[in-house]
Structure 1
Amino acid sequence: MVKIRIKDIAEQAGVSVGTVDRVLHNRGEVAEETRNKILGIAKANNYQPNLIARALTSKKQCIFASLLPTPTEDDIFWQSPLNGISDAVSELEQFQVKVSKFFFDHFNEQDFIQQTEAILALNPAGVVFSPIFSKESLEFTQKLEKKGIPYVFIESKIDQSNYLAYVGSDGFCGGRVAANLIDFGIPENGDILIINLAKNLENVLRLNERTQGFLSYFIDKGKNQGLKISVEISVSEAEIIKEKLDSVLANNKNIKAIFVTGSKVYKIARYLINSNISDIITVGFDPIEQNIKYLKQGSISFIIDQHPHQQGFMAIKKLFEHVLLNHEISKDEYLPIDIISQESIQLYKAF
């Protein structure tokens, strides 16, 4: 079937191309009889507008906003999704897509709130963010919805919100994968230490999901019958970690494995090396440079990768397809979970 063009519709309707363009794109005044005639011809011929061409010829900038924790040496994980966002913008440069990047202190809810207010004042065409703080993030989504601004979650999601899409791993499943790895490697009576490096854990969505998934594995099918000891360390300085873990390990001599729910597993690995402890299996998330270093040394047993670069990249592409191309968007885009070991790290290629 030959695809009909605006020029063909104009010829059939006996009007100018400009008149057809105004009707199809709802711009300017056109007589009702002429409008109905043009729309009838378009419908009869199954006219589909070339949305990509329209986006290319548009002179108007499309400004999205991103909101992520500030990448720091201590929290370098967030550089990867930020790089993914930048790569997506570079690919979409011809479409006049821009992203205003906002950052907040990973441990400061008030700073997060201030940045959300700045984004709302900007009134962007769409927002990409990670809902690290459950309560504050839910309040932000409600304000975005009130203004009609679509938003895409990365890294974790809030199910009770009306989000456009989520791109990331399944946190609950990631916790179960970690449990499965540990279950194979320790005695059935060995105890397991779960470490959350976070302040106000109840409000940190992704760490809770992973912890719940981890524990559910042992309830459902795990062979290990040892204690599951959970520790929250609100400050990640080496001295604080040492003080806390010295106490925990002194009081629990049977710990055979450590599960770190976030990307700072290297801080625990460093403690183990400095304490001359080499017989504990350690599992955490994200192949950042510091984690890879200790994986190669053997003080980290496994790293679970959740593809943060791809999360940032795909999130911007989804906003672009929804806002500029009016495409239907798949709501949940779950990325695969990769397990990286000392033996496979040389084959691993990160962005």
Structure 2
Amino acid sequence: MAKTKIRIKDIAEQAGVSVGTVDRVLHNRGEVAIETKKKILEIAKANNYQPNLIARALTSKKVCVFAALLPNPTEEDIFWIKPLNGISEAALELEQFHIKVEKHFFTHYNEEDFVKQTKNILKLKPAGVVFPPIFKKESLEFIEKLEKRGIPYVFLESRIKDCNYLAYVGSDSNHAGRVAANVVDNSTPIDGDILIINLAKNLENVHHLKKRTQGFLNYFMEHGRNKGLKINIEIPTSKSQIITEKVDHILSTHKNIKAIFITGSKVYKIAEYLIKNKLEDIVLVGFDPIEQNIKYLNRGTIKYLIGQHPYQQGFKAVKKLFEHVMLHNSVKKDEVLPVNIINRESFKLYGLEISIDQ
């Protein structure tokens, strides 16, 4: 027969004290005589007393504020709507526990705006923070300040391993780059050149794109079948005119490019260029089944997209903070989500999966 779970009332009767005294001891509130406190704790330990933390969180009147910091989900950076939706849904579920998630946004690939928003978050004094460490240098500065204040933080989209983060939810950027490399390798002539485009300025500081690029190149150095050149360029803006100038120059000097790999989600920008210049025989691969990319995937201009469950990243990141801060549960430090290879035939199924998740 299962052992009856002991209650605070039972501990009070065994210790010969009031329920209020036991509550003060177990929840570390108020002054209690040392001997009485020792006796209560011994009884609780002997009976394996476990406080009902969920009930306590439900009855608590104190509002717990988390902060989320994300790139502004503009039409050009629509990818970030997905993790934002996940964060919002988790916040809605946790409202009953008096959880509030304050959302802060910075201009994508703008380090100064990122730093500005981190300062606003520190003024807020949140109980926890969720953010993607897109800029390594600025993220490390933010992390140092969070750790000094004892504020736990959860990464999404990418992670910086050499710091004391509470948890990470997302794909492995290096592995995602290797998956993309495998797809390109099997879709490109063995002697064809491959162009890698990073639509970002200062790639060295853009953590996840740098890791994807490294993974992509490492795959070919280790066991890729393709023996062509791997040409790596940065385009610091997604403006069509600048993209045209940069890609025109590369294609005029490298006549054997048979595939293009985009390390981020703005694959549609290159698809538009290929269509305009009648170069749709080039294999185009990149990240994320956002609406603009799906349009060109369906047309066949984009051959493959790598999906990484952004909605789940946002949703699970907030839930991990709640588990740690409110329920004092241990959480899995690295929850690495699988990546999906999406083609013209499978994107509708993936879209159905997204609608179910949301």
Q: Which residue does the alignment assign to 1:316?
A: 318
Q: 1:243 aligns with which of 239, 242, 245?
A: 245
Residue of structure 2 equivalent to 1:179: 181
The answer for the alignment partner of 1:4 in structure 2 is 6
Aligned with 1:222 (options 224, 228, 231): 224
Q: Deviations over 1:180-204 (max 9, x none)?
A: 0011111110000000000111100
Q: CA deviation at 1:301?
A: 0.5
Report the TM-score when normalising by structure 2. Answer: 0.97
Alignment of 1:1-351 (within 5 A): 1-348=3-350, 349=352, 350=354, 351=358
User: Which amino acid is the alignment partner of residue 246 of structure 2?
Assistant: K
Cα distance, 1:246 vs structure 2? 1.0
Aligned length: 351
Please give the alpha-carbon distance, in whole angstroms, between the structure 2 residues aligned to 1:244 and 1:36: 73
Which structure 1 residue ranges, 4+ long, deviate > 3 Å from structure 2? none
Report the AA paired with residue 90 of structure 1: L
SS at match of 1:185: coil
* Aligned-pair CA distance for 1:81: 0.5
Q: What is the rounded CA distance, in whole Å, between the counterparts of 2:109 and 2:322 in structure 1?
A: 30
CA deviations 1:49-76 (Å, max 9, x no partner) are 1111111110000100011111101111
In 2, distance between residues paired with 1:345 and 1:154?
Answer: 24
Normalising by structure 1, we get a TM-score of 0.99
Q: What is the CA deviation profile of residues 15-66 of structure 1, one whole-angstrom value per residue up to 9, with x for unaligned ones? A: 1111110010010111112111111100110111111111111000010001
1:219-270 deviations in Å (ceiling 9; x for gaps): 1110000000011100111111111111111111111100000000010011
1:93-131 deviation line (CA, Å, top 9, x unaligned): 100110111111112111111111111111100000011
Q: Partners of 1:107 and 1:25 in 2: how far apart?
A: 45
Q: How far apart, in 1, do the equivalents of 2:349 and 2:125 lie?
A: 43
Q: Unpaired runs of 5+ in structure 2?
A: none
Give 1:2 shift.
1.6
Letter in 1 for 2:214: Q
| Cα distance in 1, alignment partners of residues 332 and 180 from structure 2 | 28
Q: CA offsets per residue over residues 69-95 of structure 1, 9 Å max, x none? A: 111011111111111000000111100
- C-alpha RMSD of the superposition: 0.7
3-state SS of the aligned residue for 1:100? strand
In percent, how many aligned pairs have the same letter? 69
CA distance in 2 between counterparts of 1:4 and 1:272 reads 70
CA distance in 1, matches of 2:155, 2:236: 25
